Amino acid sequence: MLNAIWLALVAGALLFAASTGTEQLEAVIASIFESARAAVQLVIGLVGIMVFFLGLMRIAFDAGFRDVVARGLTPLTRRLFPEIPSDHPALGAIVMNLASNVLGMGNAATPFGLKAMSELARLNAHSGSASNAMVLFLAINSSAITLLPPLGTIGVRASAGSTEPWSIWMPTLFATTCSTTVAVLAYYALGRLPVFAHRPDLPGDPGAVAEAGADDGEAETERPPRAAESDLRRWLRRGVCLVATLLFVWRLGLSIRATALESGLAVALRDGLQFWTFPVLIFAVLLYGFAKRARVYDAMVAGGREGMAVAVRIVPYLVVMLVAVAMLRASGALDSLTGAIDPFTRRLGVPAEVLPMALIRPLSGSGAFGVMAEIFEHHGPDSFIGLMTSTLMGSTETTFYVLAVYLGAAGVVDGRHALFACLAGDVAGFAGAVAACHFFFG
């Protein structure tokens, strides 16, 4: 699907420019070189941001924060997946996958997700058809609520010159909450329809199950063991954490109080969510790592290496997609298309310029990064269009990629209502992103 879309973008740009004259065609050719250079410059700025943010997440991981989240999710997953025995490895893999997604650690979530699907395949009585647990797991996974900031999007915004790159955190959290809620509700509603019943005569692919089962989800580096700590040092560490927390909360309260007296409580709460959540996150992660005796500097360096690897890996995807969209814009075709549909989408509060992101996001995360970067280049990261594009980027996952990889890992050829539940989550995430952007930025 993404191949066809990319080909349509490039071929459509060339054909539209050729039909309007040589001057427009020259502009398209010039946009290839300009956009390719801009993409590489964008990645250079992204490297530093990714190094810092992934280093911060590594501190949380080394301090055991993901294990805390996993323990909190266990009661919920047992209710959502009652057909899975409580001591089955599938449930443990699901919990770790969801915990990683909630913390925005997508790369860490994938091995656990593959392990979960392979274990669910062993419990599945219809090998070629997805079980109810598989469909629900996919619906949640493709629209997972992300409590922590979308680091990649924030990094691109920062490298594009945004003055408040973290301001899209709360809108994104609201959008992902809408996405996950609707995806789960769609799973229950669609599962009752006869058209999505199991097909017992459908063969599966047992080779794929065996291959996925070989990955136990232990791809990450284990946390280093901690040496014993004396009671005095433990209480001293706790005292430092308590004093620092009280000082930070006191300063936060003063800021909210001052804003409330000047502009009202509603504005104070909105500004607090929009501007204070990110500093609170950094402070909380560092303090939590210190309290749990994580080696914060070493963890930052280790996470920074991962950040550099991620930034380098997305370079070709970013360049290729950014060039394609820039060609379409330079040809005049994109302006003609957005001008034609803008009167209709504006009534819904959606600028037509953000629609390419809504279409690309379910297909490719790297392609969506390219579209987002191109929109920033043209409209700016802090414009309303740029803010809505950023929020859409984090509102859902790459639905078709998740379905292809996870169903393939389980050897399933009939996903039943998984696709429709995931797409319902995508639509809800889009609507939630639009509503949140109008509330926070409108």
How does pLDDT run across 150-200, given as a tens digit for each residue? 777 887 888 888 888 888 888 998 999 999 999 999 999 998 888 887 766
Residue 223, pLDDT above cutoff 70: no
Residue 441, pLDDT above cutoff 80: yes
| Predicted TM-score of the model (pTM) | 0.65
For residues 377-403, give the mean pLDDT.
Answer: 86
Confirm if 170 and 277 have CB atoms less than 8 A apart: yes
pLDDT confidence of 219, banded at 50, 70, 90? very low
Residue 68, pLDDT above cutoff 70: yes
Residue 401, pLDDT above cutoff 80: no
**Which of these, 294, 310, 279, lies nearest to 106 by C-alpha position?**
310
For residues 280-297, give the mean pLDDT.
Answer: 82
Provide φ and ψ at 234, rounded to 5°. Answer: -65, -45
Cα separations in angstroms, 361 against 110, 222, 372, 416: 18, 32, 10, 22
Rounded Cα–Cα distance for residues 362 and 397 (Å):
6
The C-alpha angle with vertex 140 and arms to 435 and 350, in degrees rounded to 5, equals 20
Residue 387, pLDDT above cutoff 90: yes
The C-alpha angle with vertex 42 and arms to 337 and 35, in degrees rounded to 5, equals 45
Rounded Cα–Cα distance for residues 220 and 234 (Å):
28
Rounded Cα–Cα distance for residues 233 and 86 (Å):
39
Confirm if 335 and 329 have CB atoms less than 8 A apart: yes
The C-alpha angle with vertex 378 and arms to 374 and 379, in degrees rounded to 5, equals 115
Name the most confidently modeled range: 217-221, 238-242, 420-424: 420-424
**Which of these, 187, 100, 102, lies nearest to 138 by C-alpha position?**
187
Confirm if 213 and 118 have CB atoms less than 8 A apart: yes
Rounded Cα–Cα distance for residues 293 and 129 (Å):
47
Supply the pLDDT for residue 203. Answer: 59
Rounded Cα–Cα distance for residues 220 and 335 (Å):
45
Displacement of CA 344 from its chain's centroid (Å): 28
SS3 for 95-160 is HHHHHHHHCCCHHHHHHHHHHHHHHHHHHCCCCCECCHHHHHHHHHHCCCCCCCCCHHHHHHHHHC
* Residue 221 per-residue DSSP state: P
Region of residue 146 (phi > 0: left; psi between -120 and 50: alpha; otherwise: beta)? beta
Residue 209, pLDDT above cutoff 60: no
Supply the pLDDT for residue 389. Answer: 92
Rounded Cα–Cα distance for residues 114 and 134 (Å):
11
Confirm if 46 and 366 have CB atoms less than 8 A apart: no
pLDDT confidence of 215, banded at 50, 70, 90? very low
Rounded Cα–Cα distance for residues 323 and 318 (Å):
8
Rounded Cα–Cα distance for residues 172 and 169 (Å):
5
Among 31-35, 83-87, 350-354, which stretch is predicted with the lowest mean pLDDT? Answer: 83-87
Cα separations in angstroms, 97 against 109, 111, 266, 410, 440: 5, 8, 36, 16, 30
For 161, other C-beta atoms within 10 Å of its C-beta total 12
**Which of these, 11, 56, 2, lies nearest to 333 by C-alpha position?**
11
